[in-house]
Amino acid sequence: MTIALIVIFGIAALIPAVWSIIGLITGRWKFWPAVVGTGWAIALLLVTFIGIATDWGGCDSTSESNEGSVTCVTRDAPTGCKPDVWAVQCGRPSEGCGPIAARAFCPRGQRPVFVFCEPIQAGSAVKQPWATWSDLSFIAAGLWILWFFQYFWRSGSSTTPNMLVNLNNPMITIGWLSVAYGLIVIFMGPPSQWFHASMKEWGGWFDSMSVVAWLTFNGVYVLYTLFFAMWGNGRGAARTITVLCFWAGIMILFGIIGWYVPKARLVFYFISGGFLWGIPEVIYVFVAAFAKGVVYRRTWWLFITNLILLGLTMTIWVLFNDAIVSPTTCQDREWFPGHALFHILASFSTVLTFASFASEQKV
């Protein structure tokens, strides 16, 4: 399974990367966003590979293990023992757990429940290989999005009459918002790898913030569209500046809080995914369909398709979430790479979301 994930999504990422580099070398300037995305992906993946090569600092590292990576139970009853993954690996005691045998995660008579129901590989630099390497799907998704920019119009270039209706849609132009979206999608991959491979607390922060970054960007973009852009107001540079500034401000706030209050990260998922994006997105569909005075609207069936995909994606996330399902259920599902499947479906959703934004046109 691990090899299949690396090969499939590694090749899926390499194709647009190599294609774009060759395209730019041969003088086709519209490939530059994908080349920038390729460089961004390589820089992020270097952190992954260096971390793996150095065993994430090994037993000499002072970085904290991610809290709750393992919970010890007897049947379905938690024992109160939540062993420190790296303390166990390095032969150090975990507070409140008692003696733990080598390459075991819990004291005798107790069974481990692993985060997201994927077994943690004792002594390995890649603790959860399925979840780690499935994150390559986000890199592939982001690079394909940026590769597609070769067909886009560039701000400031000449236009033809049949393009005027879509002239103000930033997601079909090569500009700040469209490129930012592609880079954010790529960023969802490696930070998640850092968490699942290392089980470090800092990796958990990056993992959470990368997801929140995408959800928040979508939320701010849709809210601006709902209040201004779909009515023909505040389009062009005003939308770009407003969306990026609000997005950056929210991310700085969430990032600081999430660093000092780890339990707040889950709340940020609901705030960014539900309140900032989900609810406004549903409202947008009804306003676009029934309100008078709407000047621009997106293709409704892309929203519905993406909603179904997101529903399936989040269902899988719940079914393989150790904090939601019972310990016995989570243990019974350890043989199946459920969280890896969640990553893959989520990466497809990033492409559908972009396609939905790009479908906006004048009524």
Instruction: Please tell me the predicted confidence (pLDDT) of residue 18.
Output: 96
Supply 198's token pair. 């290392």
Instruction: Please tell me the predicted confidence (pLDDT) of residue 199.
Output: 93
Q: Are 221 and 250 in contact (CB under 8 A)?
A: no
Which DSSP string corresponds to 157-183? S---GGGGGGTT-GGGEESHHHHHHHH
d(Cα 232, Cα 273) in Å, to the nearest integer? 26
Please work out, in degrees rounded to the nearest 5, the angle formed at the alpha carbon of residue 268 by the alpha carbons of 265 and 272.
150
Supply 185's token pair. 């999608």
360 CA to centre of own chain: 24
Up-side HSE of residue 236: CA atoms within 13 Å toward CB? 7
Which residue type, as a one-letter code, is found at position 83? P
Q: How far apart, in Å, are the Cα atoms of 191 and each of 4, 211, 232, 258, 351?
A: 21, 9, 37, 15, 19
> Strand ranges (DSSP E) for 16-117?
70-74, 77-78, 111-114
Q: Are 149 and 33 in contact (CB under 8 A)?
A: yes
d(Cα 85, Cα 22) in Å, to the nearest integer? 44
Cβ count within 10 A of residue 157: 10
pTM of the model: 0.93
Kindly report the backbone phi and psi dihedral angles of residue 189, in degrees, each rounded to the nearest multiple of 5, phi listed first. -80, -70
Kindly report the backbone phi and psi dihedral angles of residue 265, in degrees, each rounded to the nearest multiple of 5, phi listed first. -65, -40
Q: What is the pLDDT of residues 88-126, one digit of tens each?
A: 888 888 777 888 887 788 988 899 999 999 999 988 899
Instruction: Please tell me the predicted confidence (pLDDT) of residue 136.
Output: 97
Please work out, in degrees rounded to the nearest 5, the angle formed at the alpha carbon of residue 146 by the alpha carbons of 143 and 152.
160
Tell me the average confidence (pLDDT) per consecutive run of 10 residues in the chain, 363 residues long: 90 96 93 96 97 90 83 88 87 81 86 94 92 97 96 58 57 93 98 96 95 97 95 91 97 96 92 94 93 92 93 95 92 94 97 95 87
**Residues 6 or more apart from 220 whose CB is under 8 A from it?**
243, 246, 247, 250, 276
Query: 């774009």: which residue's tokens?
Result: 20
Instruction: Please tell me the predicted confidence (pLDDT) of residue 160.
Output: 46
Which residue type, as a one-letter code, is found at position 100? I
What's the first-to-final CA gap in the chain, in angstroms? Answer: 47
Instruction: Please tell me the predicted confidence (pLDDT) of residue 154.
Output: 55
Instruction: Please tell me the predicted confidence (pLDDT) of residue 164.
Output: 41
Instruction: Please tell me the predicted confidence (pLDDT) of residue 123.
Output: 83
